[in-house]
A and B are shown apart, each in its own frame.
Chain A
Amino acid sequence: ETGVTQTPRHLVMGMTNKKSLKCEQHLGHNAMYWYKQSAKKPLELMFVYNFKEQTENNSVPSRFSPECPNSSHLFLHLHTLQPEDSALYLCASSAGGGKLFFGSGTQLSVL
């Protein structure tokens, strides 16, 4: 158990659906992240929040909408996704200094 919990673990959605991914960290960290992991590719940073403020948006399409109500919770709202958005979405948290703690991820399939 890393102290970072993601739900759901698996999600199948159609291109017209709206769904949300949830992440919660119990480590007292101030920064939270969304990463996308596709097969055979390095982890892609999507968003960074530090003390609830978004500090990084790595040119992510607007069909992905993050929300960070407090330093312990992070959401990723999904709407009108494409099949190429199918991937493992990882949440992480950090206290700064480089070391990230990851959740187990949400395996997303877009049909």
Chain B
Amino acid sequence: GESVGLHLPTLSVQEGDNSIINCAYSNSASDYFIWYKQESGKGPQFIIDIRSNMDKRQGQRVTVLLNKTVKHLSLQIAATQPGDSAVYFCAEKGSDDYKLSFGAGTTVTVRA
């Protein structure tokens, strides 16, 4: 079956530095990947997504990189701010258009 995992459960970052959050996936047939941010007391919020025919996609202060050769996904946050403190989840979609598999999440803490 599908499994999605993150390399590190926690990440501490100095304010202003760049953050990199990593995710490994096992289903080579997955064709869509997505990153969510979950702040305390809220549901997961969409950050950025990428399809398997791409290897990089940029948003506002965020970049997602996809390496299909090693089945690795990463989220880069530029100039990390206190408001970026949250739990970040990666998820993948296989052949079922209505089903995502989620990783356990990385807790990012931003130090002032």
Query: B interface, by DSSP: helix, strand, loop or mixed?
Result: strand
Chain A residues bordering chain B, tally (CB within 8 A): 26
Give the residues in chain A near B101, CB-CB below 8 Å. 42
- Residue in chain A with minimal CB distance to B36: A102
**Interface contact B43-A97, CB-CB below 8 Å:** no
Q: Is the CB of B45 within 8 A of A2?
A: yes
Contact partners of B61 in chain A: CB under 8 A: none
**Using Cβ atoms and an 8 Å threshold, which residues of chain B touch A31?**
98
Are B104's CB and A41's CB within 8 A?
A: yes
A55 to B97, CA, bound (A): 12
Closest CB of chain B to A31's CB: distance in Å?
Answer: 5
Best-buried of B45, B46, B97, B98 by chain A (most CB within 10 Å): B98
Which A residues contact B (CB, under 8 angstroms)? Answer: 2, 4, 6, 31, 40-43, 45, 48, 50, 55-56, 90, 92, 94, 96-105
- B residues adjacent to A (C-beta < 8 A): 4, 32, 34, 36, 41-46, 49, 89, 93, 97-105
